[in-house]
Structures are given as structure tokens and as C-alpha cells.
Chain A
Amino acid sequence: MEVMREVWEMAAKGAVAVLVCREQIPCNPCEEACRRGAIVVGEDICTPPRYDPSRCDGCGRCVAICPGMAVVLLDRSPGGGRARVTLPYEMRDAVEAGGEAWALDAEGVPLGKGRIVRTAKASRKDAAMLVTLEVPEEWSLKVKGLRVRVMSLEAPQEAEMPSRDEGRTVCRCEEISCAEAQAYAAMGFRSLGALRRYSRIGLGYCQGRFCQTMLAGELQEATSRTPEEVGTFRVRPPVRPVKLSRLGGEDG
């Protein structure tokens, strides 16, 4: 708890890392990420990290790299009873500075809403993006996660879905009509990736080969966004269904 007190006091001057790692698992990316030697795991990789906040300059590299999302930054320098918490966030969709997000505690229970003051793209492929949330100081230390949902938490509701018979089919493998895709856009899905995860559009046999172009057009029109903003499906190998026996090196 000594460390927490030190972190709290340092945070009055600017961002400082808050480690909540209690896992005795073989893991040390935080030690590797810290350029100032503030985090030490040491020889035995199963040791929970020892942390010296006085050496921390609040760069956030440990926040972005921790696979357990067990590090956040705390910054109480804005004053006026407000604090800024910087969190790792792995879903890029719909997180924009100026927006709002729910701040969650370690159990995922919403503490309240915070304002997104900054987002920083992941610096490398194995790191998460960073989202800085401004919240009331009194519960800022409890914030361990954030939730951005286009649908409200109080009343999660399905948009009124048109019948499948309505209009053209856009995704043939998963059988989703153009009208359905437009309804998803109205629900707030802004990118092809988000739409795919929610609706299964593009997750069928053709893997988006057939529907992607049409769908991108629909989404651009419905959301007034550019092709770059709407994005593309992320392509992962194998791009076509392949028999397991072939992957296993047998002829098939």
C-alpha cells in the first residue's frame, strides 16, 4: 500500500503507472517495455513485478504492452476533482476523443461515465491502443477498464430489424439483406469490422469476398463516412477454406 500512496501523490504532478498485477505467471513484457527500470520482474519470470513509481515517467509503454491489461496510468494534474486514467483498449471501433465511455472497475462493473480526452494508436502490433478517460478523482483509482458501446448500457435494445425478405441480399453465405445491414448502421456500427463481429456478415464460406465491396458502399452511404473510415475486413489466412488434411501435409 506504500506504493499506492506514492503513486497517488506522484499523480498530482502528472501521469504515473498504476500496476495491479498479482499474477504469478511467467510474464514480463512490462519489464521489457519500461525504459527507466521502474518495473522489475527479475530472474524468476513467475515473480509478480516489483514497481518503483519514483522512476516512472508515465510514458504508458507498460500499459500498452501488458497482455493482462493490468496497468493503467493515473494523472491527477488537471485538478478540480478530476483525474485522467489511461487504459489499454483493444477494439478500435467507435473510440474517438471527445466521446464518452463507461469507466469500469476490476470486475467490469460500471463506475460511471468518463470523457475520452485522448486516444493514442498502438505503437506496435503486439500493443494495445491507449485511451485516456477523464473521471471524478474520487473513484479514479478504481478504474480498470472502459466500455464503449453504441447501444446504451441501461437499456440494451435491438434495433428494429427488417424482415429478411426485404430488399436485396448483401451477404449470401450468412444470408443477410441490405436492409438488415442498413439497420445495423442505424444502430451505430461504423466500420466493416464491427459490423462483421456483430452480425456475422462476411464470416461465411466466401469470407467476405462477395459481399465486402457492396457492404462497404452501403455503410459509407448510411454513415456518411469515407472508404478509409469504413475500412475493410481484416484478412487472415487461410483466405479460403482448406482441408485440415492439406494443412497437415497430406494430399487432400
Chain B
Amino acid sequence: MNLRVGRHAVLGEMEAGRPVTIYVDGEPVPAREGEPVAAALYAVGIRTTRYSPRSGEPRGPFCMIGRCTECAMTVDGVPNVRTCLTAVRDGMEVETPGRKKP
């Protein structure tokens, strides 16, 4: 199932970015350059963007407009980056905060 928007009701045809690879907790994930990191994760079925420090429960993108902070991840070593507002660049390293290291 393709979860990327090809044609947007208001914005019309969406130009797909160049295929690139980002690394999520070390695992390579195919993405499109310029799309939001959260969208790239969503497209490959990654629904957990962080683990709650209070309960340890998984959390996922909620508002998608940069307000709710549920999608805040560590990107290229910078903590608390709202991935719904952050554009994919080739080779990006994304880490899931609160995820237990194996």
C-alpha cells in the first residue's frame, strides 16, 4: 500500500523527491528527499516516534503540524526535533528517544 500522497486535493500533483536512504535506529529506511521525516517513517510502517518518559508507552505522530511534540525524535544527534516539520536529507540518522537499546 502506498501511503504517500500523489495528488493533493488542494495542492494538486505532488512532486516526489529523489529516493534516498535514512537510518532509523541504525536500520536503513527508504525515503524521498524533502518529505517530512515523520511521513517517511509512516510510509514504511514505523508508527512509534518516541517512548513516553512517564509510562514508557510508545507514542506516534498526532497533529502533524509541529504542535503536539509527539513526533519529536533525535535527528543527526540533535534531540527533540519535530520530525513532522523536518525534511528528509540523504543519510539522515534518526533515533527513537526512550527506546531501549538491545
Contact = CB atoms under 8 A, between A and B. Distances in A.
Nearest to B59: A172
Nearest to A207: B69
A206 B66 CA distance: 9
- How many chain B residues sit at the interface, stated as a range, is 10 to 19
A139 interface: no
A172 B80 contact: no
A204 B80 CA distance: 11
Given A175-B54, A175-B55, A209 B80 contact: no
A174 interface: yes
A164 B53 CA distance: 13
A173 to B, nearest CB: 5
Q: From DSSP, what is the main secondary structure of chain A's interface residues?
A: loop
A173 B69 contact: yes
Contacts of A241: 80
Q: From DSSP, what is the main secondary structure of chain B's interface residues?
A: loop
Contact of A205 (B54, B55, B63, B80): B80
A205 B69 contact: yes
B54 A174 contact: yes
A55 B24 CA distance: 74
A210 B63 contact: yes
Contacts of A205: 69, 72, 80
A209 B67 contact: yes
Contacts of B68: 172, 206, 210
Interface in A187-240: 204-206, 209-210
Nearest to A172: B68
A172 B55 contact: no
Contact of B70 (A164, A172, A209): A172
Contacts of B67: 206, 209-210
Contacts of A204: 69
B54 A210 contact: no
B75 to A, nearest CB: 14
Given A210-B63, A241-B80, A172 B54 contact: no
A206 B82 CA distance: 11
Interface in B25-71: 52, 54-55, 59, 62-63, 67-70
Given A164-B54, A206-B67, A206-B68, 12 more contacts: A172-B68, A172-B69, A172-B70, A174-B54, A175-B55, A204-B69, A205-B72, A205-B80, A206-B69, A209-B67, A210-B63, A210-B67
Interface of A: 164, 172-175, 204-206, 209-210, 241
The 6 closest A-B pairs by CB, nearest first: A205-B69, A175-B54, A206-B69, A210-B67, A210-B68, A172-B68
17 contacts: A164-B54, A172-B59, A172-B62, A172-B68, A172-B69, A172-B70, A173-B69, A175-B55, A205-B69, A205-B72, A205-B80, A206-B67, A206-B69, A209-B67, A210-B68, A210-B69, A241-B80
